[in-house]
């Protein structure tokens, strides 16, 4: 009887080891990518077809194509491009709109161009950046990347600078890298915390901020901090820590990853981007939690001690890319992405919904299991694309 029990126990342990190892196989990663992508394609949000939300989703779709060469993913991007007539829209309206969001669509068009070489996929992006009647680096070189509110902000480091690196790769024109350097390093100077090695979302979250905060971003006393389900601006946690938003740093780290992917390595500023990327990767490694996730506030995991999949997916993507491209030590960083990949896989529902992804935000707040969005899916697919290359 004891022998039978021992065999059963060993068999179960063997199965668990196999199941755990299997999640890192190319076969498994492709299957879960298909499930997640198909679910999202059938559950698109209310946002317009040209919004940054959809652009972020398709950046993940394209990344999976580039890794797996499954033509279905490329065709999805081309179908969207044809729907949009390959246009780059003008700056989104509203106080928190920005021209910086516009070029996320251009990134997808350019990556389609890399595959197909069709000039119509490229023309709108080039024309948009040369048109003096819209807000761009030509018409407003010092502030084209601000929000309409007049704030520099971190989200845009993912949406536009990589597109400028892609245009340089396609055309060879140095002006695109000049524009990229100008906006990226200006935002870095304003929002990067050198002690933490990470970014603030914008200046309103810095300790000592004395500016005006709109009433809607001031948390009412009737809502406890830990129960907040929308963005409220604050500069310090109850533990005296900084407010370093996870997905905000995901936007920055994902943007850095894509800049390094497309920027020529012999360019004068390449090493500067690379050094910042390594600083962020090292800080992120230290701030990962035991369950593999990063918390909504990177400086204070107890601020909202909850799993969060969008920032975790972004960091998995960026760190795995660094391993795959020899920038990060495999020995040092592979355990990080193994834990984080297992974490984000664990929150994918049977139907393919990526759960525990913070809703639209500018700061940490409470996340619940059902939370998800198109950009959450896009970030998961970005992570999957680089984990697929790692394989097992």
Structural domains of the chain, ranges and CATH numbers in brackets: 33-210+222-390 (1.50.10.10)
Give the phi and the psi of residue 348 in degrees, each rounded to 5.
Answer: -85, 125
| pLDDT score of 91 | 77
Q: Return the C-alpha torsion angle 192, 195, 198, 202, nearest 10.
A: -40
| pLDDT score of 93 | 75
CA pseudo-torsion sign 234, 235, 237, 243: positive
State the DSSP code for 198.
Answer: E
Which residues have a Cβ under 8 Å from the Cβ of 362 and sit 6 or more positions away? 153, 201, 202, 231, 233, 245, 248
CA pseudo-torsion sign 153, 154, 155, 158: positive
CA–CA separation, 127 vs 265, rounded Å? 27
The DSSP line for 271-292 is: HHHHHHHHHHHHHHHHH--TTS
CA–CA separation, 96 vs 245, rounded Å? 18
Place of tokens 């948009």: 128
Catalytic residues: 155
Say if CB 343 and CB 336 are below 8 A apart.
Answer: no
* Exposure of 172 in the CB half-sphere (CA atoms within 13 A): 0
Mean pLDDT in runs of 10 for the chain (392 residues)?
A: 53 47 94 98 84 95 99 98 93 82 96 98 96 93 93 97 98 98 98 99 97 96 98 98 99 99 98 99 99 99 99 99 99 99 99 98 98 98 99 78
Tell me the CA end-to-end span of the chain in Å, nearest whole number: 37
Closest CA to 76 of 45, 34, 32: 34
Which residues have a Cβ under 8 Å from the Cβ of 292 and sit 6 or more positions away? 312, 339, 340, 341, 342, 343, 344
| pLDDT score of 20 | 59
Distance from CA of residue 146 to its chain's centroid? Answer: 19
CA–CA separation, 383 vs 316, rounded Å? 5
Q: For residue 192, list its beta bridge partners.
A: 199
């Amino acid at each position: 009887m004891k022998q039978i029990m021992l065999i059963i126990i060993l068999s179960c342990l063997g199965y668990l080891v196999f199941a755990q190892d299997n999640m890192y196989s190319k076969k498994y990663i492709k299957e879960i990518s298909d499930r997640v992508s198909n679910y999202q394609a059938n559950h698109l949000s209310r946002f317009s077809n040209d919004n940054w939300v959809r652009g972020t989703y398709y950046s993940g779709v394209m990344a999976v194509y580039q890794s797996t060469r499954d033509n279905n993913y490329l065709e999805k991007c081309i179908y969207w491009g044809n729907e949009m007539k390959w246009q780059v829209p003008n700056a989104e309206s509203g106080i928190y709109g920005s021209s910086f969001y516009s070029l996320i669509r251009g990134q997808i068009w350019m990556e389609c161009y890399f595959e197909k070489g069709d000039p119509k996929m490229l023309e709108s992006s080039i024309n948009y950046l040369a048109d003096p009647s819209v807000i761009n680096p030509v018409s407003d070189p010092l502030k084209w990347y601000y929000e309409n509110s007049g704030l520099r902000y971190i989200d845009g480091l993912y949406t536009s600078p990589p597109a400028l690196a892609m245009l340089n790769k396609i055309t060879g024109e140095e002006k695109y890298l000049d524009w990229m350097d100008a906006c990226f390093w200006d935002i870095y100077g304003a929002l990067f915390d050198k002690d933490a090695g990470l970014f603030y979302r914008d200046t309103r979250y810095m300790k000592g901020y004395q500016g005006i905060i709109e009433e809607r971003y001031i948390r009412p006393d009737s809502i406890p901090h830990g129960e907040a389900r929308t963005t409220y601006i604050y500069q310090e946690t109850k533990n005296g820590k900084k407010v370093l938003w996870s997905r905000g740093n995901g936007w920055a780290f994902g943007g850095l990853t894509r800049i390094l992917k497309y920027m020529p390595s012999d360019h004068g500023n390449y090493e500067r981007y690379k050094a910042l990327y390594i600083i962020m990767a090292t800080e992120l490694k230290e701030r990962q939690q035991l369950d593999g996730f990063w918390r909504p506030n990177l400086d204070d995991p107890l601020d909202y001690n909850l799993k969060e999949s969008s920032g975790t997916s972004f960091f998995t993507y960026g760190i795995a890319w660094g391993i795959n491209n020899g920038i990060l030590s495999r020995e040092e960083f592979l355990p990080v992405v193994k834990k984080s990949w297992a974490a984000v896989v664990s929150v994918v529902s049977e139907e393919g919904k990526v759960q525990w992804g913070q809703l639209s935000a500018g700061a940490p707040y409470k996340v619940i299991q059902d939370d998800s969005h198109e950009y959450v899916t896009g970030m998961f697919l970005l992570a999957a694309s680089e984990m697929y290359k790692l394989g097992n």
